[in-house]
Chain A
């Protein structure tokens, strides 16, 4: 059972945990916390089994599951994992317990709702990474908005409601247009199944331009890309991010920066490039320029922040700019780097938010000016902060370096100019991180309130050691990860090829034969059952006719 439905178990275990939490009494905080952390840690342990199960040499989807879900229109529950999603799932399962532990003491109101939200969020994000059906993908994509919305809006800071509403409206605007795109694609190909659509488009049996006019591929690309660009967020769609991050509780920021932003770049890799390669190539220069603007703009704005959390938030804009650049260079090295940078950013920015959250728990402020000389009262925390800052700035031997190097390397081969500008961003990132470190931790203790702050306790040290270990591991053992991602990345590039000549067939025929054929006069109950059983005409087969 678990063998055949391993990925489903991964998706639904957190949901089951959330349901179990709902049964507990609301004021029983101790057991709510214990149960939640148990569920998320077992989820992490379970997800580690993905690595031995995963055949690193294969490029296609593995551990696939396919069940029919909705008969009209044909929608399947199709999930699977490949090199691109594998480590993103692991990142999610790792960061969820970290986010829970980070809020162990700081969340004391409506504790049950908080942990339920985190678990539902985890399930939703894993679902997004594993879905191979566009409809299913969209369901998970939207469903995970609600827990995040509550996390920001209920347990956030002062302007939390503004930030929560801004977050959800921005995301929704993008995603609803993506829904239109998904349905358009369905009308052209007759299926929601991603591998099926991929093979129809790649083999040339269905051509987007033939069906919906010369601009249809570009428009479809735009519908998908906008949703992902808002999520990433790519300059100029980034304005929701600083607000959301600043107002979110620590756990929310960790999940937001660590995993949710990756859904955007993941979507670009999974959908935009393989499905709409021509449009992607057309738009690549524009997108790359936006990405580079994002890299530099994010870095410069980080430099002038007075609020630590906002600084880390803007640094995400900069780092994610690298990822987008790496994706749209279309070189294997840069794409590998982009994927690596996604993981590295998840860990190191997650850790940065964790550290900022620890400081906030002690002083209830994020203002840099309030601090100074923090290394004196809390040397351990200071040491970890420095380590993570180095990682985020891309110091060799740590995780940030691998991704940035690969991206710059790959970009330099094709577009020297882009690489030069992007490299300036690396310098800036070292600058703002080290400068904020200097102002907060070095020197004399400037504010008397800070003199007696307690250093990291056992729980906090445990989390920090774990994060530091992952950072170091990703810095030195990168090949263990890249060898598993490489086949899939190469496959994405391979999927971008289209045959020269196409003989498109409109897969979705007009007319009533799209409907289940039912003889009139049957009793409605029975005929409804029949209708479910009557398989719709196989659209794929029609496409190949």
Chain B
């Protein structure tokens, strides 16, 4: 039962992440506060190595650990999304941690563990393995959410996240048990062959989906999202809002694509959930005056957009390829713009994250033109304006929806885009068109934040102008996902 070299290569990114996390945990107690720069550098290096390690599973595709995991284009794509999000968060975090007086080492270690768990989720082909990944990432996330120990909001966020997350996990696990009872296996490709109780299987899968719906914040399981995203430290929020969504959607899609019994029954449920999620997120975001909370609700709305693509994928086998490719592309675009937006926000909010109101952003463009321009680009991308990644993401989702003849869902998505435009533009209005109401910090942009803003902006424009490479990879991943 000793893992073969192929097995190890296929989980190389997770190995790097876990090793880095453990190393940091071991080293940190022996180094003083002064050595935090070394830890920062090590974390950045480890993050980059983990990203680079994706090369291994990409070149050695196939099943690992007797079919428990699967390294394929699909998992590679999502590993890249998760790894990139984690890497950007690690790059931008040091200045935030310094400012808030928080320890560095544990933070990075937890990020690594969370990312490793999500990575497992992205390539898991077995429901119990997926559960392990889910738990590893969730527990790290709970701690991360409460990382500002002395902030009541941060603690509230963590507790809420923990309680609701536990519920979700319970649903998930119960579902897995039922699936096992109905088919005698938890390995996805074998479920169809082993099924003896189709009704029980449907129920089990439904419970699994409920658990995942919690993670992606789909209506009616989205209620925790705004509080958690708002209360968590902003760099943590930028990770929580992006990577776990990618990971949870990964298992969602893989289950759908692999298990025949999962399709057809649920797609109307997805249709309704997609429509409601879009509206719930957008309508609540419209009335927010706190930019962080607004972006939290906008995450819910974006989950709705992704669900539209998912529903399109679920409708028919023909649409499924388009739909899966669209969802993958959207996840990549979404990760870039959300991480970018939250990173900018973390820096602009100032010490203690006090300046998060819409008014605090008034007149920013005159004082901080580059930061305002980057933030605007992220917002315009979230809004879905052409030449940004967000537009092409939406474009592909529209395409998939129409290809599956979801004309009404496409129209609802269109309406939601306009609602979204209203609140994203409000921030731009404040930054560019109103007079400043507060003093802005005049210190230079920290190098890490600057790099992240540049990378995210460049990525958004690259995906917006030349999406072909990424999209063909996503299309290929969708094609091979069976």
| Residue ranges of A at the interface with B (Cβ–Cβ < 8 Å) | 26, 70-73, 110, 138-139, 142-143, 145-146, 149-150, 153-154, 160-161, 164-165, 168-169, 172-173, 176-177, 179-180, 183-184, 186-187, 508, 510-512, 514-516, 518, 520-521, 523-525, 527-529, 531-532
Q: Which residues of B contact A169 (CB under 8 A)?
A: 418, 421-422, 425
Contact A524:B58 (CB < 8 A) given known A180-B410, A512-B479: yes
Assembly CA distance A86 to B427 (angstroms): 39
Q: Which residue from chain B places its CB closest to the CB of A124 in the assembled complex? A: B386
Q: Which residue from chain A places its CB closest to the CB of B430 in the assembled complex? A: A161
Q: Which residues of B contact A146 (CB under 8 A)?
A: 380, 385
Q: Which residues of B contact A518 (CB under 8 A)?
A: 476, 479
Residues 313-343 of B at the A interface (beta carbon under 8 Å): 316-319, 321-322, 325
Q: State the Cβ distance, A158 to closest chain B Cβ, in Å.
A: 12
* Total of A-B residue pairs, C-beta within 8 Å: 129
Task: Kindly state whether residue B399 has any CB partner on chain A within 8 Å.
Answer: yes
Assembly CA distance A153 to B433 (angstroms): 6
**5 tightest Cβ-Cβ pairs between the two chains A and B:** A531-B472, A510-B318, A139-B386, A176-B414, A524-B58
Q: Which residues of B contact A73 (CB under 8 A)?
A: 399
- Which residue of A164, A525, A529, A531 contacts B433 across the interface (Cβ within 8 Å)? A164
Q: State the Cβ distance, A55 to closest chain B Cβ, in Å.
A: 32
Q: Which residue from chain A places its CB closest to the CB of B59 in the assembled complex? A: A523
Assembly CA distance A518 to B325 (angstroms): 15
Residues 404-438 of B at the A interface (beta carbon under 8 Å): 407, 410-411, 414-415, 417-418, 421-422, 425-426, 429, 432-434
Assembly CA distance A525 to B76 (angstroms): 11
A-B contacts, 6 listed (Cβ < 8 Å): A71-B471, A161-B433, A179-B398, A183-B410, A524-B76, A527-B473
Inter-chain contact A187/B469, CB cutoff 8 Å: no
Residues 458-482 of B at the A interface (beta carbon under 8 Å): 466-469, 471-473, 475-476, 478-480
Contact A143:B414 (CB < 8 A) given known A514-B321, A515-B321: no
Inter-chain contact B468/A524, CB cutoff 8 Å: no
Task: Kindly state whether residue B254 has any CB partner on chain A within 8 Å.
Answer: no
Task: Kindly state whether residue B403 has any CB partner on chain A within 8 Å.
Answer: yes
Residues 248-277 of B at the A interface (beta carbon under 8 Å): none
- Which residue of B73, B425, B468 contacts A70 across the interface (Cβ within 8 Å)? B468
Q: Which residues of A contact B399 (CB under 8 A)?
A: 73, 183, 186-187
Q: Which residues of A contact B316 (CB under 8 A)?
A: 510
Assembly CA distance A168 to B433 (angstroms): 15
Assembly CA distance A70 to B467 (angstroms): 7
Q: Which residue from chain A places its CB closest to the CB of B467 in the assembled complex? A: A70
Assembly CA distance A183 to B480 (angstroms): 25
- Which residue of A139, A142, A154, A173 contacts B418 across the interface (Cβ within 8 Å)? A173
Q: Which residue from chain B places its CB closest to the CB of A112 in the assembled complex? A: B369
Residues 343-367 of B at the A interface (beta carbon under 8 Å): 366
Q: Which residue from chain B places its CB closest to the CB of A26 in the assembled complex? A: B369
Task: Kindly state whether residue B67 has any CB partner on chain A within 8 Å.
Answer: no
Contact A168:B402 (CB < 8 A) given known A70-B468, A180-B414, A510-B318: no
Assembly CA distance A529 to B478 (angstroms): 17
Q: State the Cβ distance, B239 to closest chain A Cβ, in Å.
A: 24
Inter-chain contact A177/B414, CB cutoff 8 Å: yes
Inter-chain contact A531/B480, CB cutoff 8 Å: no
B410, B414, B467 pick with most chain A CB within 10 angstroms: B414
Inter-chain contact B407/A184, CB cutoff 8 Å: yes
Contact A143:B385 (CB < 8 A) given known A153-B432, A169-B421, A184-B407: yes
Contact A176:B418 (CB < 8 A) given known A70-B467, A165-B429: yes
Main SS at interface, chain B: helix
**18 more CB-based (< 8 A) A-B contacts, given A180-B411, A516-B472, A531-B472:** A70-B466, A138-B386, A139-B386, A146-B385, A149-B425, A153-B429, A164-B433, A177-B414, A179-B395, A510-B316, A512-B321, A518-B479, A520-B61, A523-B58, A525-B58, A527-B473, A529-B469, A532-B468
Q: Which residues of B contact A172 (CB under 8 A)?
A: 417-418, 421
Task: Kindly state whether residue B140 has any CB partner on chain A within 8 Å.
Answer: no
Inter-chain contact A143/B387, CB cutoff 8 Å: yes
Contact A183:B478 (CB < 8 A) given known A71-B468, A510-B318, A523-B58: no
Inter-chain contact B432/A515, CB cutoff 8 Å: no
Assembly CA distance A408 to B415 (angstroms): 38
Q: Which residue from chain A places its CB closest to the CB of B414 in the assembled complex? A: A176
Contact A154:B475 (CB < 8 A) given known A143-B386, A146-B380: no
Contact A524:B473 (CB < 8 A) given known A160-B433, A177-B414, A514-B322: yes
Assembly CA distance A183 to B467 (angstroms): 17
Q: State the Cβ distance, A176 to closest chain B Cβ, in Å.
A: 4
Q: Which residues of B contact A186 (CB under 8 A)?
A: 399
- Which residue of A71, A154, A520 contacts B480 across the interface (Cβ within 8 Å)? A520
Q: State the Cβ distance, A377 to closest chain B Cβ, in Å.
A: 35
Q: State the Cβ distance, A79 to closest chain B Cβ, in Å.
A: 16
Q: State the Cβ distance, A236 to closest chain B Cβ, in Å.
A: 18
Contact A532:B472 (CB < 8 A) given known A173-B418, A183-B395: yes
Give per-residue flags for B385-399: 1 if the beta carbon is below 8 A from chain A beta carbons, else 0: 111000100010011
Q: Which residues of B contact A145 (CB under 8 A)?
A: 385
Assembly CA distance A171 to B250 (angstroms): 36
Q: State the Cβ distance, B109 to closest chain A Cβ, in Å.
A: 29
Assembly CA distance A146 to B377 (angstroms): 11
A169, A508, A524 pick with most chain B CB within 10 angstroms: A524
Q: State the Cβ distance, B196 to closest chain A Cβ, in Å.
A: 31
Q: Which residues of B contact A139 (CB under 8 A)?
A: 386-387
Q: State the Cβ distance, B316 to closest chain A Cβ, in Å.
A: 8
Assembly CA distance A72 to B469 (angstroms): 9
Q: Which residues of A contact B391 (CB under 8 A)?
A: 142
Assembly CA distance A511 to B369 (angstroms): 47
Inter-chain contact B471/A187, CB cutoff 8 Å: no
Q: Which residues of B contact A524 (CB under 8 A)?
A: 58-59, 73, 76, 473
Assembly CA distance A14 to B204 (angstroms): 60
Inter-chain contact A528/B473, CB cutoff 8 Å: yes
Q: Which residues of B contact A153 (CB under 8 A)?
A: 429, 432-433
Q: State the Cβ distance, B359 to closest chain A Cβ, in Å.
A: 14
Inter-chain contact A179/B414, CB cutoff 8 Å: yes
Q: Which residues of A contact B398 (CB under 8 A)?
A: 179-180, 183
Q: Which residue from chain B places its CB closest to the CB of A150 in the assembled complex? A: B432
Assembly CA distance A180 to B398 (angstroms): 7
Q: Which residues of B contact A187 (CB under 8 A)?
A: 399, 402-403
Assembly CA distance A169 to B423 (angstroms): 11
Q: Which residue from chain B places its CB closest to the CB of A135 in the assembled complex? A: B395
Q: Which residues of A contact B61 (CB under 8 A)?
A: 520-521
Contact A72:B418 (CB < 8 A) given known A143-B387, A183-B395, A187-B402: no
Inter-chain contact B425/A165, CB cutoff 8 Å: yes
Q: State the Cβ distance, A432 to closest chain B Cβ, in Å.
A: 32
Inter-chain contact B385/A161, CB cutoff 8 Å: no
Assembly CA distance A153 to B395 (angstroms): 28
- Which residue of A142, A173, A528 contacts B469 across the interface (Cβ within 8 Å)? A528
Assembly CA distance A335 to B197 (angstroms): 68
- Which residue of B417, B418, B429, B475 contacts A531 across the interface (Cβ within 8 Å)? B475
Assembly CA distance A524 to B473 (angstroms): 7
Inter-chain contact B421/A168, CB cutoff 8 Å: yes
Contact A110:B417 (CB < 8 A) given known A72-B472, A520-B61, A527-B476: no
Q: Which residues of B contact A528 (CB under 8 A)?
A: 469, 472-473, 476
Q: Which residue from chain A places its CB closest to the CB of B471 in the assembled complex? A: A72
